[in-house]
């Protein structure tokens, strides 16, 4: 995956040839795109998006790499030659495709959760439940026997030893992920206790939450909640709202907004913490935008203009990014 991605670094002509090649191969109406660039430092789910892309297009790579070898001749880059060698080695190519098949299928759960955690939709009261369910998925995936994984090996005539090696690698990967998750769920992530307790602000979770104020020590200010408010919420208002909801769907903004008079302290805390930010994605994107706006040619821009440009660029959906960005820059120059 890294070799495939790096093959296009500073190679505009190769990108153009690849897109032209893919345009002839993809179904009608579907746009040809480059593979997502796997970057673990700033884009958490880029590896999973990339492996799903490669799962869909793997069969086309041999033909494209051969074309590149013919175009470049003796000056073919080392990465292109390396990919050509891997794809023309039957055992290696089959092993790679099986691994990609497994990863593309198994990563769907994690990819979905990462999309939820990185989105701007409130997920604070649900986060801990998602993380609690994840170990069960890990355990079920790592203990699959060969018979259950046979679908990934269809049309690939690999030796039994190679198949066992792949399955052992999958199991080890899940063991590593399980160990890391267990660390975060216990002592490795101090904020996990906040997400565990903040579920009290969702009536759908009250059945398995404590109704005692002293049980909530991780939420700042919760000790000021009168026990009477907690009892009222647990025994009357929460269950009533849940029964009145449609298929368990509930708008927490409406629920807590209507209880400001009856549960003033608890309602104020709920409205403060139920939508607390659970990721740093926006902050990271903001830093990237600053780097784009404050180029080496624009060092004389004032702080106020810089902030205004970043604000506009971050909050607008740009349909023609370069044109609009130039317009915004000229208006503040």
Residue 196, domain member (yes or no): no
How would DSSP label each residue in 126-179?
HHHHHHHHHHHHHHHHHT--GGGGGGGGTT----HHHHHHHHHHHHHHHHHHHH
Write out the residue range of the structural domain in which residue 326 sits: 281-332
Residues 234, 297, single domain; the answer is no
The pLDDT score that the predictor gives to residue 202 is: 93
Residues 161, 53, single domain; the answer is yes
Residue 194, domain member (yes or no): no
Residue 193, domain member (yes or no): no
Q: Is 312 exposed, middle or buried (0-12, 13-18, 19+ CB in 10 A)?
A: middle
Residue numbers in the chain where pLDDT is lower than 70: 40-44, 144-147, 281, 317-333
- Cβ atoms 83, 4 nearer than 8 A: yes
Residue 66, domain member (yes or no): yes
d(CA 315, CA 289): 11
Count: domains in the chain = 3
Residues 122, 250, single domain; the answer is no
The pTM of the full predicted model, rounded to 2 decimals, is: 0.74
Supply 55's token pair.
């799962």
Query: How far apart are the two ends of the chain, measured CA to CA in Å?
Result: 42
Model pLDDT for residues 8-38, shown as the tens digit of each residue: 888 889 999 999 999 999 888 888 999 888 8
The pLDDT score that the predictor gives to residue 40 is: 60
User: Which residue reads 């904020």 in tokens?
Assistant: 191
Backbone angles phi, psi at 246, to 5 degrees: -95, 115
């Amino acid at each position: 995956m890294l070799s495939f991605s790096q093959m296009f670094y500073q190679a505009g002509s190769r990108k153009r040839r690849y897109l032209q090649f893919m345009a002839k191969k993809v179904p009608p109406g579907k746009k040809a795109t480059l593979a997502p660039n796997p970057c673990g430092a700033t884009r958490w789910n880029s590896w999973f998006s990339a492996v799903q892309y490669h799962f869909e297009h793997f069969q086309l790579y041999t033909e494209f790499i051969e074309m590149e070898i013919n175009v470049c001749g003796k000056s073919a880059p080392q990465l292109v030659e390396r990919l050509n060698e891997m794809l023309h080695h039957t055992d290696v190519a089959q092993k790679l495709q099986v691994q990609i098949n497994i990863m593309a299928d198994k990563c769907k759960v994690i990819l979905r959760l990462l999309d939820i955690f990185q989105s701007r939709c409130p997920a604070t009261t649900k986060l801990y439940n998602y993380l609690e369910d994840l170990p069960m998925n890990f355990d079920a995936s790592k203990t699959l026997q060969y018979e259950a994984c046979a679908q990934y090996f269809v049309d690939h005539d690999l030796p039994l030893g190679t198949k066992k090696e792949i399955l052992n690698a999958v199991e080890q990967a899940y063991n590593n992920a399980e160990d890391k998750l267990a660390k975060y769920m216990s002592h490795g992530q101090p904020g996990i206790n906040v997400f565990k307790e903040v579920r009290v602000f969702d009536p759908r979770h009250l059945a398995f939450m404590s109704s005692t104020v002293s049980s909530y020590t991780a939420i700042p200010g919760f000790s000021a909640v009168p026990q009477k408010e907690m009892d009222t919420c647990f025994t009357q208002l929460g269950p009533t709202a849940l029964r009145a909801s449609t298929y368990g769907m509930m708008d927490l903004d409406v629920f807590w907004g209507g209880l400001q008079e009856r549960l003033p302290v608890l309602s104020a805390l709920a409205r403060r913490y139920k939508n607390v930010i659970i990721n740093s994605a926006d902050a990271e994107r903001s830093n990237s935008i600053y780097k784009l706006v404050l180029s080496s040619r624009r060092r004389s821009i004032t702080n106020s203009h810089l902030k205004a440009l970043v604000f506009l660029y971050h909050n607008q959906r740009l349909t023609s990014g370069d044109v609009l960005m130039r317009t915004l820059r000229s208006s503040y120059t």
